[in-house]
Amino acid sequence: MLLLALSDAHIPERAIDVPLKFRKLLNVPNKIQQVTLLGNCTKSASFLKFVNTISENIVFVRGEFDPATVSTTKNPAEEMPLSTVISQGPFRIGCCNGYTLVPKNDPLSLLTLARQLDVDILLWGGTHNVEAYTLEGKFFINPGSCTGAFSTDWVQEDVEENYKTSEQQEPAEASTNGSNQQPKEIKEEIKEPSNNDSEKSGEDKADIIEDKGNSEEHLQEGKEYEHDSSDDEFDDIDINGGGIPSFCLLDIQDITCTLYIYTYVDNEIKVDKVVYRKD
């Protein structure tokens, strides 16, 4: 079965809409069995309508900017849970926006939550930054923001660095600067818990299929550095904090969960695939 994970749309307060190409791609009624909205997705009637056309089976959790209750077909004021669990085949899948998780986005905190919820896969959001990794035999997936909405988190270091370095470089080099960028994390690599001591603790089951040459060049692209103008154009992605529009699709067959990561870079959709098996 196919499970779609969308998060942090922030329509309309931070973004206008999901990229058109995403909408076209997802416009396949009756293909996807379940949709999870991992927070900050309930402010837009048109967005929810769109989600409803994908599947009527929607699971939602509360993000910090969601109202406390949402109106559903069953209940005009259904309370939005902070965390919930979906059972699919042998998998228990936890969903949580993670805005009450301290420290935010911390792999060990997420692991603790996964243990508490007794889940194999944990879907979370709130960071506007797509990533997926396995830790302690569990699969952690953050689909990022489906609109690439503005994030109030710290701006990624490489983005800031980029602006700093352009000061020192010759204008000619500044424009090619972008290609030297670290690929922004569609973290295909298996991320270990940050602590040194537990570095080898992960028993990683994920087979990673990497899409090479996937590094993004959207930063500073074709940008000319002008010394005397103070009205330079800045990349919207940088302004938004570095997050690109993205979402995840989980294909669950028996004990295998295949994760497809869709990202929207330079008006093109890129797909990455990660396979996770339950022991």
Partner 1 sequence: MSAYSDNMEQAISHIKQQTILMQRSLTQKKLMDALKHCSDMLKELRNPDLSPKLYYELYIIIFDSLSILSQYLVENHPTRHHLADLYELVQYTGNILPRLYLMLTVGVSFMQTKDCPAEEVLKDMIEMCRGVQHPIRGLFLRYYLSQRTKQSLTSDISLDKKFDIQFIITNFIEMNKLWVRLQHQGPLRERDLRTKERKELQILIGSNLVRLSQILDDSFALYRDEVLPQILEQVIQCRDVVSQTYLLDVICQVFPDEFHLGTLSQLLDTTLKLNPDVVINKVVLSLIARLNGFWDRQDDPNAIIQNLNHLKLDSNTDEEEHSADDGESTAEKLDSEPVSRNKFDLFFVFWKYLTKITEERPDLPLHEIIPLVHSIMLLSLKWYPSNLSNVDILYKFCWEKYQDFGKDIPEECEQSFKELFIYPLSTDNFYEIITTCDSFQKLLSVQSITLQKSIINSILDKMVETNTKITDKQHLDKLGAICEPIISVPNNKPKTSILTVSDDLDSELTFFNPEQEKLAKLVHLIYHKNVDINTELLLICKKWYYNGGKQLRFTYPALITAFWKLIRKLHFKSLKRPERKEDYNAKIKQLFKYVSRCNTDLFNVCGLSISDLIFKLNLQTAAIADQLTLSEISYDFFSQAFTIFEESLSDSKVQFQALVNMAQVLQKTRSLYNDEGYYDTLITRCTLHGSKLLKKTDQCRAVYLCSHLWWATELTLIGEEEGVTKNFFREGKRVLECLQRSLRVADSIMDNVQSCQLMVEILGSCCYYFIHGDESETHVGVKYIAGLVELIQANLKGLQLEESGEVQDFTAPSQTIVIGCDGSYICKTLSSSTCMVSSKIPNVRIPDLIAVPVSYFERTLEYIENQKQVDYRFNAITT
Binding partner 1 (rule: CB under 8 A), the pick from 117, 190, 269, 275 is 117
Residues in CB range of 237: below 8 A, 6 or more apart: 148, 218, 219, 243, 244
Q: Is 155 in the site for partner 1 (CB under 8 A)?
A: yes
Pick the stretch among 14-22, 206-214, 257-265, 266-274 that binds partner 1 (CB under 8 A): 14-22
Compute the least distance from the CB of residue 68 to partner 1, in Å: 6
Q: Is 14 in the site for partner 1 (CB under 8 A)?
A: yes
Q: Is 103 in the site for partner 1 (CB under 8 A)?
A: yes
Nearest alpha carbon to residue 125 among 166, 96, 160: 96
Nearer to partner 1, 81 or 271 (CB): 81
Q: Is 171 in the site for partner 1 (CB under 8 A)?
A: no
Nearer to partner 1, 104 or 271 (CB): 104
Distance CA 143, CA 110 (A): 15
Q: Is 108 in the site for partner 1 (CB under 8 A)?
A: yes
Nearer to partner 1, 75 or 179 (CB): 75
Nearer to partner 1, 167 or 268 (CB): 167
Strand order in the sheet with 121-124: 83-88, 91-96, 121-124, 138-142, 131-135
Compute the least distance from the CB of residue 234 to partner 1, in Å: 5
Q: Is 205 in the site for partner 1 (CB under 8 A)?
A: no
Binding to partner 1, residues 41-100 (CB under 8 A): 42-46, 57, 59, 62, 64-65, 67-68, 71, 76-77, 79, 81-88, 96, 99-100
Binding partner 1 (rule: CB under 8 A), the pick from 28, 209, 239, 271 is 239
Q: Is 240 in the site for partner 1 (CB under 8 A)?
A: yes
Nearer to partner 1, 160 or 266 (CB): 160
Compute the least distance from the CB of residue 141 to partner 1, in Å: 17
Q: Is 253 in the site for partner 1 (CB under 8 A)?
A: no
Number of residues that bind partner 1 (CB under 8 A): 79
For residue 99, the one-letter residue type is: Y
Nearer to partner 1, 104 or 209 (CB): 104
Distance CA 179, CA 220 (A): 9
Binding partner 1 (rule: CB under 8 A), the pick from 29, 75, 157, 207 is 157
Compute the least distance from the CB of residue 143 to partner 1, in Å: 18
Strand order in the sheet with 207-209: 58-60, 34-37, 2-6, 246-253, 256-265, 268-277, 207-209
131, 142 Cβ separation under 8 angstroms: yes
Q: Is 102 in the site for partner 1 (CB under 8 A)?
A: yes
